[in-house]
Amino acid sequence: MSVFKEEITLANATDISNARNGLIPAEKIRKITIDAMPDTGAWTLVINGDIRQKLGLAIEETSESTLADGKTDTCDVTEGVKIHWKNRSIILPAVVVPDAKDVLLGALPLEAMDLMVDPVHERLIGVHGDQPLHVLYAMEQTFE
């Protein structure tokens, strides 16, 4: 399987909350649209230091992380980032690998957005079709 990327939008979740509460105008929400590599070997979203700065993400903690080359490093973990792909989104922390060349869309955001890797067509697809599972479940509950 070759490497492929998907377009996602990342936004500062604190900015979103502040805009919702009238503390900042919606156009001040820091966000960026980038190409990310789906990587089921990564546990969450992995970004570089430049993207962290552009989004204005605060560091919540540090964590020991094993990188793709097998080396262990201490990485910063950010406050919540809203990850948006097509009709799905989730808010999760990001791990900051300062000089990372690629943004990695790890297992947690993929699972939370009900997505899986289609290695044959080199794309992301919904595990349960075009609607995320939580939306389908909510619709079923509404119509029972």
pLDDT, position 84: 96
**CA dist 43 to 67, 76, 93, 104, 117, Å?**
11, 14, 11, 9, 15
Summarize pLDDT for 114-137 with one digit per residue, the tens.
999 998 898 998 887 766 655 444
Summarize pLDDT for 14-72 with one digit per residue, the tens.
999 999 999 999 999 999 999 999 998 888 999 999 999 999 999 999 988 777 667 77
pLDDT, position 134: 57
For the stretch 29-58, what's the b/e string if a residue is b when 16 or more beta carbons lie within 10 angstroms of its beta carbon? Answer: bbeeeeebbbbeebbbbbbbeebbebbebe
pLDDT, position 64: 84
Domains of the chain listed by start with CATH number: 6-143 (2.40.70.10)
What span, in angstroms and rounded, lies between the C-alpha atoms of 122 and 141?
34
Residue 1: pLDDT above 60?
A: no
pLDDT, position 126: 83
